[in-house]
Amino acid sequence: MKREAALRELRRLLGPEAAGIPGGRLPACDFGGWPLSGALAEAAPASQAQVVALVRWAAKRAVALVPAGARSSFWGSSASRGAVLVDLRRMNRLLGLDEVERSVRVEAGIATAALEERLRRRGLAMAACPDGFGDATLGSMVANDTTAGYGMFAGPASAHLVGLRVVLGTGEVLRAGASSLYRGLPAFSRSGLPDFSGLFLASEGALGIVTEMTLRIKPLSPRRVLILRYAPSRAAFEGLARLARDLRSARICAHWVNVSRLSPEEDETRIELEGELGPEELERRCAWLAARLRRLGLPGPERTENEPARWFGGERPRRWTGVSVSAPYGNISRIQSLWLKRWRPRARRLTEGEAGLRTYFGLEGTAALLWWRRREGLERESARFEAAARRDLARLGLPYRLGRAWGEAAKARLDPAYRRRLRWLKRCFDPKGIMNPGVGAF
C-alpha cells in the first residue's frame, strides 16, 4: 500500500491529528540504536475503539501494525519497515482506583513515572515499580513481562497483574484476568477461572495490542537505601549474592542492585529496604543488614538515603548499547567474572569511558545488564563485542527479551513442541499475521 493512500485512510479513520508520516511523533531509532525508518505511517489512537478500528483496517489492507511505547528498548523490539507504528501514548488515562481491593486500572500508554506520581499523592505505590528513566509505558511492562530492576524483589510483572484488555489481530477485544471475567465483581487478585493473561506477557505485541490493564497497588511505606562501596572481586560479589539469595524469604528488600563501572574501579551496591510497619521497624532492619554485611567482611554502608532515587536523571544517552539476561543465582557470579576478566578490558578500548555491569537481585532469580556507550568510528568493533557478549550470556541465562537482537540464535534453543504451540497461538489470535510480525519468540 502506498504511503499517501495509507495516510488518507488513517486520517479519515482516526482523525487528522492521529495519523502522520514516520518520524513525526516517534524518534528515528530506539534507545539501543535500532532504526525505525521505513515505516508506512504512524498512528496515535486515543481510545480502545480507535484501536479496534485500526486493527480491522490493517487486517483488511494486509498492513502490519507495530505497537510502540516510548521506544526505550535496547533489544530491537520491533521491525517497522512497511508497517504502521502504533503510538499508544495518547491513551494515558487513569481509569479507576480501588483502595479497598488495592488495584488501579489504567490505559496502556501511561508512563510508569506518571502513574507512580499520581499514586504517591494518595499515599499509594505500585506493587513493583520498574527503573529506567520513567518514560516507559505500562503497556510495555506487560508486553515485555518486566518489572526491571526496581521490581525484581517484588516478583515478575505477572505477580502484579490483575487484569488486561487486549485488541487481538481479529479486531476482537479480549478481557483477561480471572476476576475480571466474572460479571458483577470488582477486579481483584484471585484465580479460579482459566485466565489468558499469561499468554500476553513477553509476547512483544505479537498477539494483540494491550489497551488497558489493572495492577496491584499498596500503601506507600517508609524506605531507606543503604549504599556501600568495595574493591571489585569475585569473592566479595559472591558474598553479596549469597546474602541476597538468603533474604528472599525475609521480604525486607524492595530493590537490590550492584553496579560495576570502568571508572572509578570500585563496585557500588544499593540496597533499598522497606518498613511496612513504620520507621522503627525500618531502623531495626537497617542495623541488622549492616551487621550481616560486616560479618561477610564487607564494608558497612557508607551512607544511607531516606528517599530512593526512582528514575535515572537527565535524558537518555546517545550511542548506548546494552546486552541483558535473566539468570539463576547459581550463574550470576560467573557473569561477574566475565565482566572482570573479559568484558571490562575490551570495553576500555571501545567506549568513551562509560561502561558497566548492573546486577539485579530478586525473589526468583537475578538479572545482569552489560552496557556501554559506543565510541564514534568504532561501530563495527562495538557490534562484534556485542555479539561476543551475547554468546557468552546465552550459556548462562535467558535473553531479557528476544526482539531482533537475539534473533535466530535464541529461537534455535527453544523446545520444538513449544515453538509449534507458539505458531498455533499466533494463528489463533492473529490469523492475518499483522501484529508485530517477525519479532520475538512468535
The amino acid present at 293, given as its one-letter code, is L
pLDDT at 61: 94
pLDDT at 121: 93
Which residue in the block uniquely carries the three cell numbers 561477610? 296
End-to-end Cα, the chain, rounded Å: 25
pLDDT at 425: 94
Residue 169 is classified by DSSP as: T
Which residue in the block uniquely carries the three cell numbers 497461538? 425
* Contacts of 6 by beta carbon, 8 Å cutoff, 6+ apart: 40, 41, 61, 63, 84
Q: Helix 234-246 and helix 329-338: axis angle, to 10°?
A: 160
| pTM across the whole model | 0.89
The domains of the chain, with CATH numbers, are 3-87 (3.30.43.10), 94-219 (3.30.465.10), 223-305 (3.30.70.100), 320-410 (3.30.70.2520)
* Contacts of 208 by beta carbon, 8 Å cutoff, 6+ apart: 166, 167, 168, 169, 174, 200, 429, 430, 435
pLDDT at 154: 66
pLDDT at 374: 81
Give how far the C-alpha of residue 75 lies from the chain's centroid of Cα atoms, to the nearest Å.
Answer: 11
Ranges in the chain, pLDDT < 50:
none
Which residue in the block uniquely carries the three cell numbers 498512528? 43
CA 354, 29, 88, 406 torsion-angle sign: negative
Q: Is the Cβ–Cβ distance between 80 and 36 less than 8 Å?
A: yes
pLDDT at 130: 67
How many helices and strands (H and E) does the chain possess? 14, 18
Per residue in 195-246, pLDDT tens? 898 899 888 899 999 999 999 998 988 888 899 988 888 888 999 999 999 8
pLDDT at 48: 96
Per residue in 146-173, pLDDT tens? 655 555 666 666 678 899 999 999 999 9
Count, residues in the chain: 442
